[in-house]
Structure 1
Amino acid sequence: MTLEIDTGSGLMPVHVWEGSGPGLLLLQEIFGVSEYIQERGAQLAALGYHVVAPEIFWRLDDVDLDPDATDLLDRALAVLDRLDWDLAVSDSIAALEYLRGRDTPVGVIGYCFGGGLGFNVAAAADPDVLVSYYGSALPNLLPLAPDVTAASLHHFGDADDYLPRATVDKIVAELGDAEVHRYPGAGHAFDNPMPAFHHAEASAQAWQRTTEFLSRQLPPEGNE
């Protein structure tokens, strides 16, 4: 279902998958809350989590992210160029506070753009857990690393053109005791099912590790 959350400066649309356990803030890729992100939301809810995925681009006009467009990536990058990062962080925190209103532990899981955004949210709002898939903004966010106290899991592909190995090495060096996994042969957005991105083995391994991590650090059965 969808609803609207008061951000203090407007009503932000969010997608909700209801569960009786802890809350999970699901942060989108640059392609928006796509069918892929919605599928992940439903899968997380099936594990027992109450999942909220905000429409981070809601403040922008003329956003057209037609998944069948041949220039989808260019369109998405153009949208990202118009985004106010600080507002995206505060909007995400508003969604996290909405989840906290259920009086359960809360976590953040983000993909690509959302992986970096989630890291920033974790530094600013102290969720219980963070899962970040190849956070594209991480190289610019490393000064925030000491403020991320949540139990954290990070996934990176070793064939990522956006986050090359040397860059990931620098990121990992700043992540402290976070759990980190790197996937040989996997490029950026390897979990996305689009043929241009998908790496089936890495996707399956990362999802298994994600669900196992969540079951340890944010167990759904302990909060029903």
Structure 2
Amino acid sequence: MATVVLLHSVHGLRPAVHRAAERLGAAGHEVLTPDLFAGRTTDSVEEGMALKEEIGSDELLRRAVAAAAPVSERGVVYAGFSLGAALAQNLALADVNARGLLLLHGTSDLADDATADDLPVQLHVAEPDPFEPDDWLSAWYLRMRRAGADVEVFRYAGAGHLYTDEDLDHYDAEAAEQTWRTALGFLETL
């Protein structure tokens, strides 16, 4: 089974992240859920984005690296929700020991010289998603493939951005269950 570093969205380390970690743990995975916002949570994307700006992108990445460092030598799977997915992608591409990358609701830009030699990557995203438009996802997919990643993309028509979060208005039980079934299958292969 895998060690998974699961990073939260701009809403912070909320109950949905803990429920996801419990689900992964029940499947036999060791899961770390670092609190990149130091105990703060938000109820809206706007509040979350303001908190992200207050902390700063570099500091958030530093906190994520520090949280993953003690286990990265083992070869971990980086995972995250939205903002956390973007951070997870950056960590996985920088960690030669990364075993996989599980992106839920988000991606990040790639440097032109990024490499991801045969890195297994799975992305689950709403269709449409206001933060991950089709043209962006197409370009992202091509860049990840060019970097060498083995990428699978799963789109969920009609689901809202963070559709796996039961505490938000755009929760979609059917899409969430399908996402978790597929993601757990993915983790079993790593």
Q: 1:188 aligns to what SS in structure 2?
A: coil
1:135-174 → structure 2 map (5 Å cutoff)? 135=106, 138=108, 141-143=109-111, 146-149=114-117, 150-174=119-143
**Contact in 2 for aligned 1:191/1:203 (Cα 8 Å):** yes
Match of 1:131 among 90, 102, 117: 102
Q: Which amino acid aligns with 1:53?
A: T
Alignment correspondent of 2:158: 185
Distance, in Å, in 2 between the alignment partners of 1:170 and 1:129 is 20
- 1:9 aligned partner: none
**Residue in structure 1 matching 2:17, options 37, 43, 48:** 37
Answering whether residue 61 of structure 2 is matched by residue 92 of structure 1, we say: no
Letter in 1 for 2:115: D
* 1:175 aligned counterpart, secondary structure: helix
Q: How does 1:97-112 map to 2 (within 5 A)?
A: 97-100=69-72, 104-112=74-82
- Structure 2's unaligned 5+ residue stretches are none
* SS in structure 1 of the partner of residue 111 of structure 2: helix
Q: State the SS of the aligned residue for 2:12.
A: coil
Q: What TM-score, normalized by structure 1, do the two folds share? A: 0.74
Q: Give, as a single letter, the amino acid of the residue that structure 2 aligns with 1:185.
A: G
The whole-number CA distance in structure 2 between the counterparts of 1:95 and 1:118 is: 11
Amino acid at match of 1:108: Y
Q: Deviations over 1:90-139 (max 9, x none)?
A: 322222221246xx431111011101010011111231111011215x2x
Runs of at least 5 residues in structure 1 that lack an aligned partner in the other structure:
1-20, 218-224
Shift of 1:200: 2.0
Name the SS of the counterpart of 1:48 in structure 2.
Answer: coil
Q: CA RMSD in A?
A: 2.0
> 1:64, 1:75 within 8 Å by CA — same for their partners in 2?
no
Change (3 A) 1:175 1:44: same
Change (3 A) 1:35 1:144: farther
Q: Does 1:82 align with 2:15?
A: no
Give percent identity, aligned residues only: 23
Matched, 1:175 2:155: no
Aligned mates of 1:85, 1:40 — CA distance in 2: 24
* CA distance in structure 2 between the partners assigned to 1:171 and 1:207 by the alignment: 22
Stretches (4+) displaced over 3 A: none
Specify which of 173, 185, 189 is matched with residue 212 of structure 1: 185
Question: Which whole-Å CA distance do the structure 1 matches of 2:68 and 2:56 have between them?
Answer: 18
Equivalenced residues, count: 184
The aligned amino acid for 1:169 is S
If you compute each CA radius of gyration, which structure gives the higher value, 1 or 2? 1
